[in-house]
Amino acid sequence: MVANLVVELAGKLSGKAMISADISEDDLKGAEIESIAARIRAHFGDSDLPRIVDRQLLREIKEGITLEKAPVEIEIKEPTDFKPLAKEIEPIFSTKSIAPEKTSATVGDFTDYFNDRFMRLREMIERGRSGISIISSIDRIAQYTEGRELSVVGMVYDKIITKKGNIMITMEDETGTVKVIFTKMEGKGAALFENARKIALDSVIAVKGKLSSPFIIANQLLWPDIPVKNKKLANEAVSIAFTSDVHVGSKLFLEKQFRRFLEWINGNIELNKNIAGSIKYLFVSGDLVDGIGVYPNQDKELTIPDIYEQYSFFFDLISNIPEYVHVFVLPGNHDAVQRAEPQPILTDDLIKDFRQSNIHMVSNPSYVTVHGIKVLTYHGTSLDSVIRNVPGCNSAKPETAMVEMLKMRHLSPVYGENPIVPTKKDEMAITEVPDILHMGHMHKNGYAEYHGTQVINSGTWQSRTIYQEKLGHFPTPALLPVYDAMKGNISSMDFNR
Ligand SMILES: [Fe+2]
């Protein structure tokens, strides 16, 4: 008999290790060759020693897989003293995912994408600001006489500090460019200058000022911004829990803490049981797993070196959420879908046969309305570029960058640092004003309220990585924000203890 499975395994090892003659076809029957090969490669790593897979090693590797596949032992009993109120409340929700759009990403596609972004954001600036008449296009500036006041909208193409310490930006639209000066001032004009410091490249803004050819000397700066509104509250006593960055498969995944959270939401832990029982909705905003090959030498940082097994373990865990809690799951930059945003929902090959009626796959980003509250959930990959480009934002306070995104009405305002799909309609623009803006990615919990919108960054379940150490970042793992949708306040549940 030809040893097909042995040959298949040898092929998948691609010369990285030899298979000992004591391994027979029977030893591999029914096994997942792909995941065994992945583990063998991870086992040997960069070792220079002779790499031979013998029967003993094969047995250990197979046992490891069986152990990981064992169902997660969370006791789902109904404790007599746990009467979750959320179970008695009918779910009311709708999701709005972005369907994948195929583009060949030509220069023309990007031009169309930026035109759409510009028109959308310009409209937002004009809406509700009827007192300001904005000229229709930059080329019309030529018709204005020196010293006249005018307002103009453009996309920020360049921003520099002049020798005199002023800020000079170049704005453009499809008809031309104009340079705008924000004069360095103290006292009355200082606020305008400080605001101008926050202008990010590629954002769309309006400027009012005096024409002093070839410049406009700005006296007002307008962002698309979100309108000021009252905080939207639910009319039933439900809570919404927010999380992200689980990183299943990483050596640093805090499995014990995550299981503690699962025990808690099932009413098995004596800790704010009334809050646990009020949770009707849970958002899991990306980096569900650590992934494979996301950064160099990642294989050394993994306990599960197989992407499908990482997802299988993630879904094993998440299946322990009580069925009356509706869970919205979206991908992030570590997940195995296309890296460019918007990212589509997880594909069937990752979900496999996991189907549970209360677990909903949504795109990154997505609008999900729960009990009348509109949540915009986005992994937050672009936070890095916003923090780098906007003075005053910092990674220890991710909510600062999230507020800037609301002002810019865009989830990926800085082009070039975070890949985007040039869709016909700019899906990263914040077209609808959310009641809650939720992100993760920074592994740091952070909260703010801006113009009546609740801003939440939901931290992580991964302890401090070497990369974060190098950057001097301190994550806040295993903290779960729970938003009381009727009262509008947040409780932070700590599962580190
Ligand atoms: Fe992450």
Does an H or E element contain 165, and which? none
Q: What is the pLDDT of residues 389-442, one digit of tens each?
A: 999 999 999 999 999 999 999 999 998 888 999 888 899 999 999 999 999 999
Which tens digits make up the pLDDT trace of 6-15? 888 888 787 7
Instruction: Give percent above pLDDT 90 in the chain.
Output: 71
CB 456 within 8 A of CB 438: yes
pLDDT at 466: 85
Q: Would you say residue 79 has pLDDT above 50?
A: yes
Please tell me the distance between residue 258's alpha carbon and the centre of ligand 1 in angstroms: 15
Helices (H) and strands (E) in the chain, counts: 13, 19
Between the CA of 151 and the centroid of ligand 1 the distance, in Å, is 41
For residue 161, report the distance from its CA to the centre of ligand 1, in Å: 34
Which tops the pLDDT comparison, 52 or 64? 52
**Per-domain residue ranges for the chain?**
4-69, 85-100+229-494, 129-222
475: left (phi over 0), alpha (psi -120 to 50) or beta: beta
Cα Rg for the chain, rounded, in angstroms? 26
Question: Using one digit for the tens of pLDDT, what is the confidence trace for 113-130?
Answer: 899 999 999 999 998 676
Q: How close is the Cα of 35 to the center of ligand 1, in Å?
A: 24
Closest to 220 measured CA to CA, from 180, 187, 179: 180
Q: What is the pLDDT of residues 220-231, one digit of tens each?
A: 999 999 999 999
Q: Which CATH number fits domain 85-100+229-494: 3.10.270.10, 3.40.50.2300, 3.60.21.50, 3.30.499.10?
A: 3.60.21.50
Cα-to-centroid distance, 247 and ligand 1 (Å) = 7
Give me ligand 1 centre to Cα 366, in Å: 18
CA of 276 to the centre of ligand 1 (A): 25
| CATH of the structural domain 129-222, one choice from 3.90.280.10, 3.40.190.10, 2.60.120.620, 2.40.50.140 | 2.40.50.140
- pTM equals 0.84
Complete DSSP assignment for 385-417: HHHHHSTT-BTTBHHHHHHHHHHHTBSS-STTS
Distance 28 CA to ligand 1 centre (A): 35
Q: In this structure, what DSSP letter does residue 478 have?
A: T
Of residues 327 and 1, the one with the higher pLDDT is 327
Residue 412 in tokens: 């990926």
* Paired tokens of 184: 């360095």
In tens, the pLDDT along 282-292 reads 999 999 999 99
- How confident is the model at residue 129, as a pLDDT? 77
**What average pLDDT score do residues 253-257 get?**
97
Cross-strand pairs, 212: 215
d(CA 350, CA 307): 8
Centre of ligand 1 to C-alpha 376, Å, is: 18
Q: How far is the CA of 49 from the centre of ligand 1 (A)?
A: 34
